[in-house]
Amino acid sequence: MQYALPRFVHPTTLLLVVGLLCLQPAQAALVKIGVFSPEGFATGMQRWQPSADYLGQQIPAHRFQMLPYQDLGELEDDARRGKFDFVLTHPASFVQLEQQAGLIRLLTRRHRDGALQHASAAVVIFTRADNRIQGLADLARTPFVTTRAQDYSSWQLVQLELERLGQDPDHALSEVTFAGDSEAVLDGVMSGDYPAGAMAARDFDRFLRQGRISPQAVQILEASETPGFPFRFSGRLYPQWPLGVLPDTPAELRQAVQQSLLALPEGHVALEAGHYAGWQPADNYHAVRPLLSKSLSRHVVERQLSVANLWLEQHRQTLLITLVFTLLAWLLIRLFAHPRKLAGLKRLSTL
């Protein structure tokens, strides 16, 4: 059977429509970038989506979407499940995902402080000048205050410094209080509530410049300075946040993202929104690896406990029934194994 075109559809018109449809661009493939955002989802989107929009302009065959996570554990779980193409997180989290998800370092984020650009993070561990504490070794069994457990530029760098000096961070201090932000850390130490505390070196420098504290009123433990880094700090410098790529991400896309971010022009809106200065080829994160063993073992233990709890919840009824039948079987065995007791029970039943 043959079908004819309706009289109102001219063959030339049909060919033109088909040609226009063929010229329509294919829908851009979605690229997902997981981002650790301690400040929350909304702030994370404001800060990082302009960088994703820039990548979409440079790589028009793809549409880039930032997915900010306030919960670091949730971000890491989704990365292990392969829900992203790229991940931007702090170095301690990166080295963990490097082991668990095959994350590959791609770039390291750069900061601008005054006229200097750098890709380093540092912590200031400090006391009041009238305190007898002279070094990190004197912190033994001392109450300590810092910002947050997952703050890379504060508590995590303190742990690395303690490890570097041969001390166990889990036992070097009598207690660690997480005050939430650098303001609370400053107040806690300067008021005398805590003998020592820690915060990011850039925050400590800001308090000095604002006149909140005077250099004579405080003492920086293990104080260091180095050319190219604008602040005094404790111990040594560590690399800034890396952008990592999941192993299943196509090599062409990986290379295109790397080249585009390295070429991000100075003064671009993405830099202003993200509060960073640009990117550089990936740094070496070997110095952060001492954090891996503890975080990895902790994750394994937590996952095992979670699986065990889930199994118990799913099989609770079966376990209870099995327990009841086991007890009954044990009682019957005991009774039949002692005929005298069984005979005594029969006599009692006849009375």
- The dihedral through the CA atoms of 147, 269, 278, 31 has a sign that is positive
CA distance 136 to 131: 13
Inside any domain, residue 325: no
Q: Is 311 inside a domain boundary?
A: no
Residue 200 CB burial class (10 angstroms; 0-12, 13-18, ≥19): buried
Same domain, 104 and 69: yes
- Give the domain-ending residue among 293, 313, 329: 293
Number of structural domains the chain divides into: 2
Judge whether 278 lies within some domain.
yes
Q: How many residues does the chain have?
A: 351
Over range 227-235, report the average pLDDT.
Answer: 94
- 190 φψ region: left (φ > 0), alpha (ψ -120 to 50), beta (else): alpha
Last residue of a domain, one of 224, 239, 254: 239
**Chain segment 141-195, per-residue pLDDT in tens:** 889 999 999 899 999 999 999 998 888 888 888 899 999 999 999 999 999 999 9
Same domain, 139 and 235: yes
Same domain, 230 and 279: no
Q: At what angle do helices 251-262 and 41-58 cross, to 10 degrees?
A: 100
Higher-scoring residue by pLDDT: 26, 337:
337
Q: State the residue for tokens 């971010």.
A: 261
**Cα 165 to Cα 72: distance, rounded to the nearest angstrom:** 28
From CA 329, how far away is CA 336, in angstroms rounded?
A: 11
Q: What pLDDT digit, counting tens, does each position of 95-139 carry?
A: 999 999 999 999 999 998 888 899 999 999 999 999 989 888 888
- Please indicate, yes or no, whether residues 217 and 127 belong to a single structural domain of this protein: yes
In this prediction, residue 95 carries a pLDDT of: 94
**Whether 94 and 142 share a structural domain:** no
Residue whose token pair is 């530029």: 153
Report the C-alpha gap between 159 and 238 in whole angstroms: 12
**272 in the same domain as 259:** yes
Helix/strand/coil percent split, the chain, to 5 = 50, 20, 30
36 in any annotated domain: yes
- Name the DSSP class of 18: H
Q: Do 139 and 82 belong together in one domain?
A: no
Whole-model pTM?
A: 0.73
Indicate if 162 and 107 belong to the same structural domain: no
Does 37 fall in a domain?
A: yes
Assign residue 228 a region: left if phi > 0, alpha if psi is -120 to 50, beta otherwise?
Answer: left
CB atoms within 10 A of CB 232: 17
Alpha carbon distance 329, 234 (integer Å): 67
Residue 207: both structure tokens together? 């308090």
Position 97: which residue type? Answer: L
Return the CA Rg of the chain.
Answer: 31
Asked whether residue 53 falls in the same domain as residue 98, the answer is yes
Domain end point (choices 276, 293, 310): 293
pLDDT of amino acid 10? 54
Same domain assignment for residues 173 and 89:
no
Q: Is residue 186 part of a domain?
A: yes
Distance, in Å, from the CA atom of 155 to the CA atom of 171, rounded to the nearest integer, reads 14
CA distances from 239 to 68, 157, 178 (A): 22, 11, 23
User: 165 is in which domain, residue-wise?
Assistant: 122-239
Residue 183 sits in a domain whose CATH number is 3.40.190.10
CB 182 within 8 A of CB 149: no
DSSP three-state, residue 101:
coil
Q: What is the mean pLDDT of residues 60-67?
A: 96
- Residue 16 located in a structural domain: no
* Cα atoms found within 13 Å of the Cα of residue 180, Cβ hemisphere only: 4
Higher pLDDT, 3 or 285: 285
Which element (helix H / strand E) includes 85? Answer: none
Q: What is the pLDDT of residues 296-345, one digit of tens each?
A: 444 433 443 443 444 455 556 776 777 777 877 767 776 666 555 555 54
Coil, strand or helix: which one is 60?
coil
pLDDT at 171: 82
Residues 329 and 316: their CA atoms lie apart, in Å, by: 20
| Residues 69, 84: Cα–Cα separation, whole Å | 12
Backbone region of residue 235 per phi and psi (left: phi > 0; alpha: psi in -120 to 50; beta: other values): left
93 and 45 in one domain? yes
CA dist., res. 172 & res. 143, Å (int): 10
Mean pLDDT of the chain: 84
Q: Does residue 244 sit in the same domain as residue 96?
A: yes
- 162 in a structural domain: yes
What are the tokens at 39?
């400040």
